[in-house]
Amino acid sequence: MRVTEIQRFCMHDGPGVRTTVFFKGCPLRCRWCHNPETQSASQQILYDAARCIGCGACAAACPVGAHRVGADGHVYDRTECTACALCAAACPTGALFQAMREMTEEEVLAVVERDRAFYGEEGGVTLSGGEPMAQPEAALRLLRMCKDRGIGTAVETCGCFDPAYVPALAEAADLLLWDFKDGDDARHRENTGVSGLPLMRALIEADARGAQSVLRCILLRGVNTEEAHYLAIAELWSKLRHCRYAELLPYHPYGGAKRRLLGEADDGREDWIPTPEELERARDHLAARGVRVRDLGR
């Protein structure tokens, strides 16, 4: 499987203490993506100029001349780069590093097992990304291996995957952290590249099969902080029988810094950060319609 990172002792990726495995590859292109390094399924090289000491090790290791170090400093020509990662292996300061590594399910499980003592009754492993179900067979195998060992399983998903896998996912995951990005489908298409309707249908099917879920709703000031969106959340909530609560996630611009490491423009938007008052209004709108709400912005 293609993994960008494994984070241990996480507290916001499901109940209890979690080990979160970030999968690489996602079919969506959300304008507010917090993990842009997980979008492409291919290997990428990230470059942190602040760590570079200009030693030239990368230029010496690169077989295609994508790196040059001279009077004008370190120049990284990504148009020449083949992502062979020889530069990252040679870099002594970690200024260059790979976006992903390929791991077997057994290798990932070994990391997950290290913290078994801390999981307790609620914790366990969470698959995130990217979109874990963009690698469905690997994700499902890992989930089943964890369940066989008594480790709790959760999956954060946008729902954009082959619906044929919904039954298997509902069985393998103890909890689905389901991203509900926007109730306005035209705006959903504009900001993510896909319709949100099939994604909602997949959640409703998983719920019908008994899957426990949490609705994760990102709020962006001036984009979806409106009553119509809150009504759409409440309408979806009313169709679910096994949804524990809706989780309000205020936008943050940190993904822009990661884009700079990928050689792209920083697209972080400070003006999209909702105010505490807007979060409170969203919470009140949903609560008034009978939605159980948890607000991570508090």
In this prediction, residue 295 carries a pLDDT of 60
CATH architecture for the domain at 45-98: 2-Layer Sandwich (3.30)
In whole angstroms, what is the distance from residue 133 CA to residue 161 CA?
Answer: 6
First to last CA, the chain: 35
pLDDT (tens digit per residue) in 217-244 = 999 999 999 999 999 999 999 999 999 9
Averaged pLDDT for residues 181-187? 96
Q: Topology of 2-41+100-295 in CATH?
A: TIM Barrel (3.20.20)
pLDDT (tens digit per residue) in 99-131 = 999 999 999 999 999 999 999 999 999 999 999
In this prediction, residue 48 carries a pLDDT of 97
**Residue 298 binned pLDDT confidence (cut-offs 50, 70, 90):** very low
Report pTM.
0.94
- Sorted by where each begins, the domain ranges of the chain are 2-41+100-295, 45-98
160, pLDDT greater than 90:
yes
In this prediction, residue 297 carries a pLDDT of 45
296, pLDDT greater than 60:
no
